[in-house]
Amino acid sequence: MTVDPFDLLVLQIVARGGIMVQDQITDRIAQENAEQLFGRSRNLEASLRRLQVQGYLELRPVVYSAATASPGNVEDVAIRVGKKVFDRAYYVTQRASGEFNMALPPSVRESFLEHHLKTLDAAHRLERRFRDQGCEILSFKLESDLIRERSSGKVFDHRGMALGKFPDAVLTVRHPDGREESINIEYVSSKYTDQMIREKHDQFTGKTTWAASNEETANRVERITGGGEVLLV
């Protein structure tokens, strides 16, 4: 089946993020300068419906904190009830993976889905900032990608293999001066204990940008890690 170029871009964006809500897809399309390529008239909702009918996308209902709203007009795609947002998340199907050589979505538990979405929000904000600074985005890898790379070609014994602690994502950029840099991205919810934060900080290598669910958690992260950037998402 021939796929519309704009629809293919939407598939590529969703595959890269694993599981994404519509607002995040909209933000990503803006960052990809899709309007210059396809024009302002392209309708994302129509594209998402078409891709579902064609069997390339699946829809997954999601409920998350209103504070997690990604850049864009959340009111257009979600219903706020108290402090919760009822929204729709999308992921690529086995068919899309097979026909277009796209990675299948990570297996995200319901209890971890909000964590995943907030990680994407933090990553999108960082990417937008780096692009504004004239940097080139070289790669973006989720924790599942990092684990897959580390374990590739290795044999697991009956005890399994200690892989260590991975950040939620890693963003690699090239600065205008040619220097390449990888930035860990780690989201911390209010449920994280001080010990959990300390263990992650001690095992990560390189620069880490932390993301937190509220100011109290952000202050804890700053205190435990000795400073550094903390985004509120």
Q: Domain end: 50, 83, 105, which one?
A: 105
Other residues' Cβ atoms within 10 Å of the Cβ of residue 98:
10
Assess contact for 10 and 63: CB atoms under 8 A.
no
pLDDT value of residue 67: 57
Decide: helix, strand or coil at residue 209: strand
Residues in a beta bridge with 84: 65, 81
Q: Domain end: 105, 131, 153, which one?
A: 105
**Which residue has tokens 């590529």?**
12
Amino acid at 213: S
- pLDDT per residue, tens digit, the chain (233 aa), is 678 889 999 999 999 999 999 999 998 888 877 666 676 557 899 999 999 999 999 999 988 776 544 444 444 444 555 577 788 999 999 999 999 999 899 888 888 899 999 999 999 999 999 999 999 999 999 998 888 887 654 444 444 444 557 899 999 999 999 999 999 999 999 999 999 999 999 999 889 999 998 899 999 999 999 987 899 88
Name which of 192, 229, 19, 26 is nearest 117 in CA terms. Answer: 19
First to last CA, the chain: 39
Are residues 28 and 69 both part of a single domain? yes
Name which of 199, 172, 175 is nearest 183 in CA terms. Answer: 172
Are residues 142 and 215 both part of a single domain? yes
Decide: helix, strand or coil at residue 201: helix
Are residues 48 and 96 both part of a single domain? yes
Q: Domain end: 105, 123, 144, which one?
A: 105
pLDDT digit string, tens, across residues 48-65: 999 999 999 999 998 877
Are residues 99 and 119 both part of a single domain? no
Are residues 60 and 139 both part of a single domain? no
Are residues 121 and 233 both part of a single domain? yes
Are residues 19 and 95 both part of a single domain? yes
Are residues 121 and 65 both part of a single domain? no
Burial (Cβ within 10 Å: 0-12, 13-18, ≥19) of residue 2: exposed
Distance (Å, rounded) from C-alpha 158 to C-alpha 112?
27
Are residues 100 and 110 both part of a single domain? no
Token digits of residue 11:
């598939």
CATH of the domain at 56: 1.10.10
Q: Where are the beta strands (DSSP E) in the chain?
A: 20-21, 57-65, 79-81, 84-92, 136-142, 169-174, 180-188, 207-212, 230-232
Are residues 183 and 70 both part of a single domain? no
Number of domains the chain is built from: 2
Running DSSP on this structure, what letter comes out for residue 105? P
Assess contact for 19 and 116: CB atoms under 8 A.
yes
Are residues 168 and 117 both part of a single domain? yes
pLDDT value of residue 84: 76
Are residues 93 and 116 both part of a single domain? no
Assess contact for 24 and 120: CB atoms under 8 A.
yes
Distances in Å between the Cα of 123 and the Cα atoms of 36, 127, 143, 223 are 23, 6, 13, 22
Domain with 20, as residue range(s), is: 1-105
